[in-house]
Amino acid sequence: MQQGRIVRGIAGFYYVKLDDGSIVECKARGKFRRDKLSPIVGDNVIVEKIDDEKGVIDSILPRKNELIRPQVSNIDQAILVFALKDPDISLEVLDRVLVLTEYNNIDAVICFNKCDLDVDNKFDYLSKIYSSIGYKVIKTNGKTGEGIEEIKKILKNKTTVFAGPSGVGKSTIFNKVQNKVIMQTGEISKKVSRGKHTTRHAELIDIDDNTYLVDTPGFSLIDLSFIEIEELQNYFREFNEYSSECRFTSCLHFKERDCMIKNKVEEGVISKDRYDNYIKFLTELQQNRRY
Ligand SMILES: Nc1nc2c(ncn2[C@@H]2O[C@H](COP(=O)(O)OP(=O)(O)OP(=O)(O)O)[C@@H](O)[C@H]2O)c(=O)[nH]1
Ligand SMILES: [Zn+2]
């Protein structure tokens, strides 16, 4: 038996990269079907080799996390790409995605791209908000390559997914940090070439020892409706150190009296933009529960 990682899956075949670097084509044992558990790309698995090229997946090691779209497991970090301009940045979308990364136990690195278009110093304002609460923030220019070396360093020994709205430069950056796979850039060519292929599964691209990129951008669904109302606050990391000081232990930091989170927003310690998004998501969840 040998351990490895599923890097690709096609129609019931799994391509497993073994610890010695070789790739074997595997089928999964029948027991997985009975247990209604399917191996997915990203899984760490135990393989019984049949010969040099073929094997059988015998078991799946516990998953650290699992994304639905793209379907892939054991993601260490997400590089969240946003453009400072063109398209304009939506902090609501950024905060939504950050709730998802926190929920999934994925480290988030925020990449503010198109810094050449940053005419009103948005970068300084934004990087202050997000780096002060512990997120790594990188300023990039997909055209000149500024910030690319910093991203490359962060990728080492991790499995990374790129995420972000359309047109922000994800593919441009992706192509600059590795040269194994070329992602199409620019809107028009993409719209034509995509959509014809049926289910396209995510793949892991190994760009270095123990260093993988997911070839498909993540978090296209930023629906938070599955999150429990009381738990939402846990995914706003800067709330954690103060929430125990609220008068009510079950404080949602909304309409309650003597709320330390609201005090900290007033003092300017917690970003008002972030708090407002929290309230927005909270009311959304409360409204959903009513129907
Ligand atoms: N001015 C400027 N343009 C950039 C920069 N990075 C990328 N672009 C341009 O922005 C456009 C969109 O870039 P893509 O890399 O295709 O964006 P994407 O995020 O992959 O887009 P989707 O595939 O729609 O999700 C292209 O025309 C790029 O040339 C940058 O730093 N500055
Ligand atoms: Zn409170």
Q: From atom 2 of ligand 1, which residue's Cα is the shortest distance away? A: 114
Residue 60: enclosing H or E segment and its boundaries? strand 54-60
ipTM over 0.95: yes
How far is it, in rounded angstroms, from Cα 49 to Cα 4?
11
Q: Where are the domains of the chain?
A: 2-61, 67-215, 229-289
CATH of span 229-289: 1.10.40.50
The pLDDT, as a whole number, for residue 194 is 47
CATH number of 2-61: 2.40.50.140
Q: What is the mean pLDDT of residues 237-259?
A: 97
67-215 CATH fold: Rossmann fold (3.40.50)
Please tell me whether 113 is known to bind a ligand.
yes
The per-residue pLDDT for 120 is 87
168-211 pLDDT, tens digit per residue, is 999 999 999 999 988 888 865 455 444 444 456 899 999 999 99
Predicted local distance difference test score (pLDDT) of residue 186:
80
Residue 83 Cα, ligand 1 centroid: separation in angstroms? 9
Please determine whether the domains at 2-61 and 229-289 fall in the same fold group of CATH. no
Cα-to-centroid distance, 231 and ligand 2 (Å)? 13
Q: What is the pLDDT of residue 53?
A: 96
Sign of the Cα pseudo-torsion (135, 213, 139, 100, in order): negative
Q: How far is the CA of 166 from the centre of ligand 1 (A)?
A: 8
Q: Distance between CA 117 and CA 20 in Å, rounded?
A: 46
| Residue 214 confidence (pLDDT) | 96
Look at residue 291 in the predicted model and tell me its pLDDT: 66
d(CA 252, CA 246): 9
Question: Would you give the DSSP letter of residue 118?
Answer: -
Residue whose CA is at the smallest distance from ligand 1 atom 27: 186
Q: Measure Cα distances from 286 to 109, 139, 228, 237, 266 in Å.
A: 29, 36, 9, 21, 24
Strand runs labelled E in 170-291? 204-208, 211-214
pLDDT in tens, 98-143: 999 999 999 999 999 999 999 889 999 999 999 999 999 999 999 9
- Per DSSP bridges, beta strands 72-73 and 66-67 are antiparallel
Q: Which residues contact 107 (CB under 8 A, 6 or more apart)?
A: 76, 77, 78, 101, 136
**Spacing of C-alpha 156 from chain mean position:** 16
